[in-house]
Amino acid sequence: MSQIGRPAEPDKRTLRREFLAVRNRLTADDVREAGVALAGRALELPELARARTVAAYVSVGSEPGTLALLDALRARDVHVLLPALLPDNDLDWGAYTGEGSLARVQHGGKMALFEPAGERLGPDAVTTADVVLLPGLAVDARGMRLGRGGGSYDRVLARLERADAHPALVVLLYDTEVVERVPAQAHDRPVHAVVTPSGVRRFPST
């Protein structure tokens, strides 16, 4: 029951529109510079320094750029896994071996994605990762992540839980996307850290 006089908490859909509107005002130079800074910050994470396998993703549009980070991880001989979107919105995985290993894939009316062009390793491949890098639109002071709403990474997190796998969960965002609170549901899981161009913030384990 709502409380009279208390403003309603914005719903996820409204917040997604607001964060995307801000991202869409960024220039290509803004995105590129943020990606370089983000890679530098992320590589300072001890979890990434000791990781042998990292599940990541290729940024698209105005998302914080990830290619610099992917190439830096490869230069450290890290096995980098990238997602491929399945028809039911679940994710398969393949290896990243450089920009030449990517294919641009158009999924119906959705945004085109860059996916691994080589062998598919199966949805369970993510359970071998030491670190999972998550896309998102915001994260709050509890470590709760606001995603785009497709549910793909909810499935990934549920798969990790079923497999009793415990990789470090790290979301990559712009500085302005670390906020006090985002709406969360019972199935949502907190991340362990957020990396932005200006630094790293860790969240207490729950």
**Domain CATH number, residue 176:** 3.40.50.10420
Q: Which two tokens stand for residue 124?
A: 């369970």
Instruction: Put the strands of the sheet holding 199-202 in their side by side order.
Output: 91-95, 79-85, 53-55, 131-134, 168-172, 193-196, 199-202
Residues annotated in a binding site for ATP: 12-16, 145-153
- Could you tell me if residue 56 is inside a domain? yes
SS3 label, residue 40: helix
CA 46 centroid distance within chain: 18
Name the binding residues for substrate: 58, 63
Q: pLDDT tens digit string along 113-169?
A: 899 998 999 999 999 999 999 999 999 999 999 988 788 998 999 999 999 999 999
Residue 4 lies in a domain: no
Q: Which residues are annotated as a binding site?
A: 12-16, 58, 63, 145-153
183-178-49 Cα angle (round to 5)? 115
How many domains are there within the chain?
Answer: 1
Tens digit of pLDDT for each residue in 9-53? Answer: 568 888 889 999 999 999 999 999 999 999 999 999 999 999 999
- The answer to whether residue 35 is domain-embedded is yes
